[in-house]
Amino acid sequence: MKKALLVVSFGTSYHDTCEKNIVACERALAASCPDRTLFRAFTSGMIIRKLRQRDNLHIDTPLAALQKLAEQGYQDVAIQSLHIINGDEYEKIVREVQTMRPLFKRLVIGAPLLSSHEDYLHLMQALSRQMPLVAPDERVVFMGHGASHHAFAAYACLDHMMAAHRFPARVGAVESYPEIDVVIDSLRHEGVKAVHLMPLMLVAGDHAINDMASDDEDSWKTQFERVGIAATPWLQGLGENADIRAMFVQHLQQALEQSLEVAA
């Protein structure tokens, strides 16, 4: 029976960032499933269109990828999401998978990065290995994407757990709570003098480059500096972190094992 591994991410139009993060995750996942042929899909229609128009590069949506796999005779397909939270993008994948299920003998999907209590603890351990050493009056501030979906609560949960574990970092979100002004106000009251800014995103793309690290008037770097807190940006996506890649591999293996248990 032909077996496939479909790795699904939001995507990026930055080729070097894609290589460092998405390709690195794909390689780790493929190495954990040597009996499967690797395929890629992006969930962002905007990025898919940009790559097609700019580079003549064709990336499938998850639905299109599954249709092609069925046509090519793949009957056992494992999907791994590279999304951070169980939000709109992931739920869309799940819905599409359900519609395609009758075309396959086995179709499984691995969960996003933050899907269990243990994931939050593992993520903090993984992040600690990429963070610089900080003085007592310094913190690392991670930039999450945020969401209108109720899964945005994952960012606040991670921020709360960091505080509970006395972890020297905070979490803010671009498009939802915790807003950056909430984080800045809190750190000012703690007497923090300097921060290191890091993306809590698979890739260091537009949000990291423009909203976090730039000298724009409303960037996170500028907002911290405006209140007298020095800010040093680090443009490293989560996909560059080997421990985070290992978390995605674990989620994929868990999904495969659970499907075998159900079948048994």
pLDDT per residue as tens digits for the range 49-66: 999 999 999 999 999 999
Contact 201, 207 (CB under 8 A): yes
Model-wide pTM > 0.75 = yes
37 burial type by CB count under 10 A (0-12 exposed, 13-18 middle, 19+ buried): middle
pLDDT per residue as tens digits for the range 27-53: 999 999 999 999 999 999 999 999 999
pLDDT per residue as tens digits for the range 207-249: 889 999 999 999 999 999 999 999 999 999 999 999 999 999 9
pLDDT for 262 equals 63
Instruction: Give the sign of the dihedral formed by CA 111, CA 112, CA 115, CA 119.
Output: positive
Is 145 among the residues known to form the active site? yes
DSSP state of 235: -
**2-112+240-263 maps to which CATH number?**
3.40.50.1400
Q: Which H or E run contains 206?
A: helix 206-206
Q: Which H or E run contains 142?
A: strand 138-144
Please pick, among 145, 196, 207, 251, the residue that the annotation labels catalytic.
Answer: 145
Q: Where in the chain is the domain with CATH 3.40.50.1400?
A: 2-112+240-263, 131-235
Distances (CA, A) of 101 to 41, 94, 105, 107, 185: 17, 10, 8, 6, 48
Q: How far apart are CA 99 and CA 97, in angstroms?
A: 5
Is domain 131-235 annotated with CATH 3.40.50.1400?
yes
